Amino acid sequence: WSAISSGKLDATVTVELPVTHKLYAKKYKGKYVEVRKNLEHAKTGLAVPKYMKSINTIDDLKNK
C-alpha cells in the first residue's frame, strides 16, 4: 500500500477488500486507483486435514 501510494510500484493484484486490507484502503484513500475487482466473493481462511479431529477454532489448533 505504501509503495503503490508513493509511486514506487505501479500495480498490485493482491489487495483483499473489503475486510483484510480495509484499514490500508482507508489510510491511503485518494493515493491509489482501483481498476477493477479481481475475485469477487473470494474467501480466505485456514484449512486443516481431515485426520485432525475436533478442530473448529484457532484455539483448538493451539492446544494440539
Q: What is the pLDDT of residues 36-54, one digit of tens each?
A: 877 777 777 778 888 988 8
pTM (2 d.p.): 0.57
Q: In which residue are the cell numbers 481498476 written? A: 35
DSSP label at 22?
Answer: H
Q: What is the DSSP string of 28-57?
A: TTTSS-----SSTT--------TTSTT--S
Task: Please tell me the predicted confidence (pLDDT) of residue 18.
Answer: 75
Domain limits, the chain: 1-64
Task: Please tell me the predicted confidence (pLDDT) of residue 64.
Answer: 64
Q: Give the type of residue at 9.
A: L
Could you say which residues of the chain have pLDDT below 70?
Answer: 64
Task: Please tell me the predicted confidence (pLDDT) of residue 56.
Answer: 85
